[in-house]
Amino acid sequence: MNNGNLEQKIAQLLDGDNRAFDYIYEQTNRPVYFAILYIVHDKMHAEDILQETYVRAIRSLQSYSPGTNFSAWLARIGKNLALNHLKRERREVATDFSTDPHLYGSQETNLPYIFDAAARILSEEEYKIIMLCHVSGYKRREVAQMLGMPVATVTWKNNEALKKLRRTLQEEAV
């Protein structure tokens, strides 16, 4: 991801060029989606929250500080919306979605097993690194920049998370 191009497109969007949004969305949607998915564990709700994240981001784009990590700013908006979603869900009448998710429109059973296992056994930081490197296709250098850590740390955490995931999957004979 070229941060210079992203910053340029953000400036264009602020100036009223709505075509710049397409580029911004394509460059940032995957890490934001996986940050949300990690919290809500439901593809349907994650997609809805992702949409709301971009709506809120556009409304408050003038509060973004140019030159900072835009993906992290978006992810923070998405995480806050996801946490609010979970709070609202807890206040509603308790329904056990895990027994018959198809009855309630939950797509939780459609999540690939590997994502579920990764979310279950990895720390949030390890999960983010795995999702950004292996699912979203970012280079470790880009992930290090997004997460504000050295490339060597991202590489080490990535390798450790893969080992942990591999071990668990072998134990569960997947």
Q: Residue 42: which CATH number?
A: 1.10.1740.10
| pLDDT one digit per residue (tens) for the chain, 174 residues | 567 789 999 999 999 999 999 999 999 999 999 889 888 988 899 999 999 999 999 999 999 988 888 988 999 999 999 999 998 888 775 544 455 444 444 444 444 567 777 888 889 899 889 888 877 778 888 888 888 899 999 999 999 998 998 888 788 765
Tell whether 73 and 123 lie within a shared domain.
no
pLDDT of residue 15: 92
Tell whether 62 and 129 lie within a shared domain.
no
Tell whether 84 and 154 lie within a shared domain.
no
Tell whether 53 and 118 lie within a shared domain.
no
Tell whether 18 and 38 lie within a shared domain.
yes
What's the domain range around 38? 1-109
Tell whether 137 and 61 lie within a shared domain.
no
Domain count, the chain: 2
Tell whether 122 and 51 lie within a shared domain.
no
Tell whether 30 and 105 lie within a shared domain.
yes
* Per-residue 3-state assignment (H helix, E strand, C coil) for the chain: CCHHHHHHHHHHHHCCCCCHHHHHHHHHHHHHHHHHHHHHCCHHHHHHHHHHHHHHHHHCHHHCCCCCCHHHHHHHHHHHHHHHHHHHHHHCCCCCCCCCHHHCCCCHHHCCHHHHHHHHHCCHHHHHHHHHHHHCCCCHHHHHHHHCCCHHHHHHHHHHHHHHHHHHHHHCCC
pLDDT of residue 112: 58
Q: Residue 122: which CATH number?
A: 1.10.10.10
Domain boundary among 109, 124, 154: 109
Tell whether 21 and 88 lie within a shared domain.
yes
pLDDT of residue 107: 43
Tell whether 120 and 168 lie within a shared domain.
yes
